[in-house]
Amino acid sequence: MGKVFAYNHKITSNETDVTQKINIGKMVDLMMLASEKQGNELGVGEKKVNELGYGWVVTQHLINIIDLPQINQEIKIWTKADSYNKYFTYRKFGIEDMDGNELVTMETIFVLMDFKNRKISSLIPELIDPYEAKESKKLKRFPTVPKEMQVQQRKEYTVRFMDIDSNKHVNNAHYFDWMLDSLDYDFLTTNDLKKINIQYKNEVRYGQKVESEMQLVIDDNQKFSLHRIQNGENISCIAQCFWK
């Protein structure tokens, strides 16, 4: 089984929104930071990956929220590489309170992007072996996000300089802000997220315009929202959020 890496953190006010709970994009950032720190510790950090001509790209997050961290709360954030096959590596993340109670879990699929052609490359032992994850020929099946939706709300955004990262595309965490902003203030301050399934399809780059589209489904048995980030003809990302 893969090596575990963990660090402690105290939630600061600038990581929270008006509800004083953590912003979802920033929460995902904190978990991704655990894998970044682990990469550095094992000598296969972002710098090394970039030097070899590659970048790690997330294709899917499955997030399960038991209790969203709040302002000033001390938390422990952990991660481990779980398994991998020829193209995909599966990583687990979690957030616990200081008594070891589970607050959030996340499963993530990563692929390696070759900077030469910006296409997916097969994984490289040099970048994989240090994590000591198990190799598995099987493709792990994650639930997929429904592709069909009836758009009820649409908002447009232009990608800003501050939205792009060193891979020169919009950082994953920004998609959560675009998606959730399609729900209104009253909904966001009176409903709590339970689960998020997000699939990334195509990168978005500086200056491009995206539309954040949303459908909210509420009936006796369920309450979920469907989201799509559309970049011209391309779908950039789709997601399903389940609400308490």
Q: Which residues of this protein are in contact with a second copy, per CB under 8 A?
A: 12-14, 16-18, 20, 23, 25, 29, 32-33, 36, 40, 46-47, 71-72, 155, 158, 160-162, 164-166, 168, 171, 173, 177, 180-181, 183, 185, 188, 206-207
Instruction: Supply the minimum distance, in Å, between the C-beta of residue 188 and a second copy.
Output: 5
Of the pair 2, 25, the CB lying nearest a second copy is at: 25
CA 239 to chain centre: 11
Instruction: Select 101 or 158, whichever has its Cβ closest to a second copy.
Output: 158
Residue 37 or 125 with smaller CB distance to a second copy: 37
The token pair at 46 is 């972002």
Nearer to a second copy, 40 or 105 (CB): 40
Closest CB 63 distance from a second copy, rounded Å? 17
Closest approach of a second copy to the CB of residue 100, in Å: 24
Query: 120 or 188: whose CB is closer to a second copy?
Result: 188
With H, G, I as helix, E, B as strand and everything else as coil, classify residue 205.
coil
3-state secondary structure of 57: strand
Q: Say if CB 146 and CB 226 are below 8 A apart.
A: yes
HSE-CB of 34 using CA atoms within 13 angstroms = 26
Residue-by-residue DSSP string for 84-129:
E-SS-EEEEEEEEETT--EEEEEEEEEEEEETTTTEEE---HHHHG
Q: State the minimum distance, in angstroms, from the CB of residue 42 to a second copy.
A: 15
In terms of CB distance, is 33 or 83 closer to a second copy?
A: 33
CB of 21 to a second copy, least distance (A): 11
Q: How far apart are CA 243 and CA 29, in angstroms?
A: 21
State how far the Cα of 133 lies from the Cα of 3, in Å rounded to an integer: 7
Residue type, 94: G
Q: Least distance from C-beta 86 to a second copy, angstroms?
A: 27
